[in-house]
Amino acid sequence: MKIGYSFWGFLGNGITDTPDGGRSHRRPLIDALLDRGHEIVFLQANRDLIEAGDDLGNAYTFHSGSPDIDALFLEWRWPIDGRNTTPCGAEGHTCELHRQAELISRYTVRRKTPTVIWDKDRKLRSESVWRRVPQATVCEAALAPTPGAHRLLFPVDDRLLAGADPVALAKQPRDLVLGYLGNQYDRDDHFDRYFAPAAARFDHLVGGKWTKTGRWPHVHFLGRVPFEAVHGVYGRSLATVLMLPERYAAVGQMTQRIFEAVLAGCLPLAPADILHADRFVPEELIVRSGDEVIERLNHLQRIAATQQHADLIAACLDRLDLFRLSRQVDALEAALDTAVSPVVALERGAA
């Protein structure tokens, strides 16, 4: 199948001064689709080349027009005031929303091209017309997706899971008790309740875009760090807290932060208000208050580098099987088949 893929972000390391959590999982997903015999053409601007000067070894095809495709796959974009809602050419304007509208109009509406929408940020309204169009299928990265939507979690490469050694990770020296890499967006509640109290007691670092930090003067904010530095920071950290926006927590939508941390041997503490938290971490890593975070961190310090520590890392690695890349490619192919079926039926009826 020839898939037209629309995303706004990077396949490589990109640049430091931009949010794009997809860098940890987008390229493995695409490479796995290619390995299964699909053809991929990217339909947004090549930001790797334009902004980061990375040609990615000329391994991928980008197209600014309207190539013939069998299916359209969209990492869903939404209006962001002052950025993609401004006129083309305006200062600070990004044109991905206009391009997405063009692609939907040309392919989904006019050509009835089978379309899969991956609503990674939960920005597609439940009443959206795109949830009702026969040739469109919506995917969400949640354990409890919106009725009618398919589950497509953020994938972690099978090879990374196979190569992770819990004993070696447990023995690795760690000079930080608590670390977090990610942006502030809608995470203040979890940060206040779980992270900030522990940060007052333990050596810690927070990397990412945090612009409103005045009420946490004791927290050490690094600002944005290069994508390639993420593994190193987690590799120095004994534990992290899986902080989520409420709209993610309510449906069990876990971000890529969990496997970025676990693959570096950094144990993830999960707030109990995350739906199905026990599917993401062992029970002893689920926390219900800032005091419990402090208690668990004290315990983790006592068992650091022991077999008990290695066993906890192993239990977290086992739970990453939920995100396994091969499973997610199966899920995406099933969603593509669902989108294709009504189109085939219409074509047969017309014949």
Task: List pLDDT tens digits, range 134-193.
Answer: 999 999 999 999 999 999 999 999 999 999 999 999 999 999 999 999 999 899 999 999
Question: Could you say which DSSP state residue 84 is in?
Answer: T
Q: What is the b/e burial string over 190-221, where b = at least 16 CB atoms within 10 angstroms of the residue's CB? A: bbebbbbbbbeebebbbbbebeeeeebeebee
Is residue 344's pLDDT more than 70?
A: no
Q: Which phi and psi angles does 15 have, rounded to 5°?
A: -120, 160
Residue 322 in contact with residue 279, Cβ under 8 Å?
Answer: yes
Residue 206 in contact with residue 180, Cβ under 8 Å?
Answer: yes
The confidence score (pLDDT) of residue 18 equals 63
pLDDT tens for residues 30-52?
A: 999 999 999 999 999 999 999 99
Percentage of residues of the chain with pLDDT beyond 70: 97
Burial class, 335, CB count within 10 angstroms (exposed 0-12 / middle 13-18 / buried 19+): buried
What would the mean pLDDT of 234-256 be, rounded to a whole number? 97
Alpha carbon distance 8, 331 (integer Å): 22
The confidence score (pLDDT) of residue 17 equals 62
Alpha carbon distance 159, 136 (integer Å): 32
The confidence score (pLDDT) of residue 15 equals 81
Q: What is the b/e burial string over 276-306, where b = at least 16 CB atoms within 10 angstroms of the residue's CB? A: ebeebbbeebbbeebebbbebbeebeeebee
- Nearest CA to 183 out of 236, 224, 234, 155 is that of 224
Would you state the structure tokens that stand for residue 193, as one six-digit string? 């309740």
The residue with tokens 């890593």 is 285
| 5 CB-near residues (< 8 Å, 6+ apart) | 30, 40, 41, 42, 43, 73
What would the mean pLDDT of 321-350 be, rounded to a whole number? 84
Candidates 2.60.120, 3.30.70, 1.10.3470, 3.40.50; correct CATH number of 2-155+325-350?
3.40.50
Is residue 243's pLDDT more than 80?
A: yes
Question: Could you tell me the pTM of the whole model?
Answer: 0.94
What would the mean pLDDT of 113-121 be, rounded to a whole number? 97
pLDDT tens for residues 196-237?
A: 999 999 999 999 999 999 999 999 999 988 888 899 999 999
Is residue 351's pLDDT more than 50?
A: no
Is residue 349's pLDDT more than 60?
A: no
- Nearest CA to 138 out of 117, 108, 109 is that of 117
Is residue 346's pLDDT more than 60?
A: no
Structural domain spans, the chain: 2-155+325-350, 159-323
Residue with the bigger pLDDT between 287 and 18: it is 287
pLDDT tens for residues 60-105?
A: 999 999 999 999 999 999 999 988 999 999 999 999 999 999 999 9
- One DSSP character per residue, 30-61 reads HHHHHHTT-EEEE-S--HHHHHH---GGG-SE
The confidence score (pLDDT) of residue 343 equals 63
- Nearest CA to 76 out of 101, 51, 39 is that of 101
| Angle at which helices 307-319 and 290-303 cross, to 10° | 120
Burial class, 116, CB count within 10 angstroms (exposed 0-12 / middle 13-18 / buried 19+): buried
Q: What mean pLDDT is reported for the chain?
A: 94
CA dihedral of 139, 132, 100, 146, whole degrees rounded to 10: -30
Reported as half-sphere exposure (CB side, CA atoms, 13 A), residue 21 has a value of 20
Is residue 345's pLDDT more than 80?
A: no
Q: Is the fold of 2-155+325-350 the same as that of 159-323?
A: yes
The residue with tokens 């502030």 is 184
Candidates 3.40.920.10, 3.30.70.330, 3.90.1300.10, 3.40.50.2000; correct CATH number of 159-323?
3.40.50.2000
- Count Cβ atoms below 10 Å from residue 64 Cβ, excluding itself: 11
